[in-house]
Amino acid sequence: NAGVTQTPKFRILKIGQSMTLQCTQDMNHNYMYWYRQDPGMGLKLIYYSVGAGITDKGEVPNGYNVSRSTTEDFPLRLELAAPSQTSVYFCASGRGANYGYTFGSGTRLTVV
């Protein structure tokens, strides 16, 4: 099992560009999450999904969009990148609200 796979690992974007961070899991988990981690701060939830076709906003959703067309995939879309979106992004999945999480290896994004 690959677990949770995130691509790319690193990316530099120019202000105003767009990109999609990919996240795939092969554990048949219903719950999937996107977090961002800024230096000295705890992880902040951007968006989450409790199953295919269902998504909802987390704490910091502005500037991002998600979709969940399949159980396996949960891509995060950045439209009109801004320097404030420079961060490390983690995707995670789990069986449910009171189960452990499996994290992807992260995507380090820099917006210049």
- Per-residue binder mask for another protein (CB under 8 A), 59-78, x = binder: x-------------------
Q: Between residues 57 and 80, which has the closer beta carbon with respect to another protein?
A: 57
SS3 34: strand
Angle, CA of 96, 102 and 108, to the nearest 5°: 125
Q: Is 41 in the site for another protein (CB under 8 A)?
A: yes
Is the omega angle on the peptide bond into residue 83 within 30 degrees of 0, that is, cis? Answer: no
Compute how many residues bind another protein; rule: CB under 8 A.
22
Residue 58 or 63 with smaller CB distance to another protein:
58
Nearest of 86, 78, 73, 96 to residue 36 by alpha carbon: 86
In degrees rounded to 5, what are phi and psi of residue 80?
55, 65
103 binds another protein (CB under 8 A): yes
The gap from C-alpha 21 to its chain's centroid, in whole angstroms, comes to 7
- In the bound state with another protein, the residue whose beta carbon lies nearer, of 99 and 110, is 99
| Residue 24 Cα to chain centre, angstroms | 10
Among residues 29, 90, 109, 111, which is the contact residue for another protein, using CB under 8 A?
90
Q: Which is nearer to another protein, 28 or 97 (CB)?
A: 97
State yes or no: residue 40 binds another protein (CB under 8 A): yes
